[in-house]
Chains A and B, each alone.
Chain A
Amino acid sequence: EAQVTQNPRYLITVTGKKLTVTCSQNMNHEYMSWYRQDPGLGLRQIYYSMNVEVTDKGDVPEGYKVSRKEKRNFPLILESPSPNQTSLYFCASRGLAGGGEFGPGTRLTVT
């Protein structure tokens, strides 16, 4: 089944404790992207990647890091999480011609 998976789905952590949210797709898609969704603010793009080793900042990259060492994986790293990073996070991927698929979301709470 073609899909985008994210782990973990739910995470409660404390300020300053480094964490990684994984994103993996099995569709051989070139393009992957991370978003955060907050009430009233729509979907804000954090980082995106056009292909392996090619990443670029989205609208809200501060406080986040990404890497794209393999085509299928695009992890989101929070080196020192803060409460303002409490949010719902989505990963998405798309191929060159087709539509994009979204992961199920990761709900992060930073206390």
Chain B
Amino acid sequence: ELKVEQNPLFLSMQEGKNYTIYCNYSTTSDRLYWYRQDPGKSLESLFVLLSNGAVKQEGRLMASLDTKARLSTLHITAAVHDLSATYFCGNEKLTFGTGTRLTIIP
């Protein structure tokens, strides 16, 4: 059974700080997806990581993939309030975990 687990589930951090969200998946997946969801909205694609060692960056967000460890990370640099949202990672079958609800405090 494909399982995707994220941690932490909830994250409250101050503006300007750095932090990392972790995504573990239980069986082999050759790609990993990251999405963002704002309250009351649908999911928006952030990153598609297609191979081992892939790293992608967009603004203050950087995602990486280690297929051997079955681990992906989403790193937030110098957080700003606009990044407050719920972040989901998903495997190639678009199976998702429970998400990480991120709150940035001024």
Contacts and interface: CB of A to CB of B under 8 A. Distances in A.
B98 A101 contact: no
Interface stretch (A12-20, A38-46, A62-70): A38-46
Interface of A: 31, 33, 35, 40-43, 45, 48, 58-59, 90, 92, 94, 97-105
B48 to A, nearest CB: 4
B33 A45 contact: no
15 contacts: A42-B97, A43-B88, A45-B94, A45-B96, A48-B93, A90-B42, A90-B43, A92-B94, A98-B48, A99-B48, A100-B94, A101-B45, A102-B43, A103-B42, A104-B42
Main secondary structure of the interface of B (DSSP, over half): strand
Contacts of A43: 43, 88, 96, 99
Contact of A100 (B45, B50, B97, B98): B45
Nearest to B50: A97
B: contact size bracket: 10 to 19
Nearest to A44: B96
Contacts of A42: 88, 96-99
Interface of B: 33, 35, 42-45, 47-48, 50, 88, 90, 93-99
B23 to A, nearest CB: 12
Contacts of B90: 100
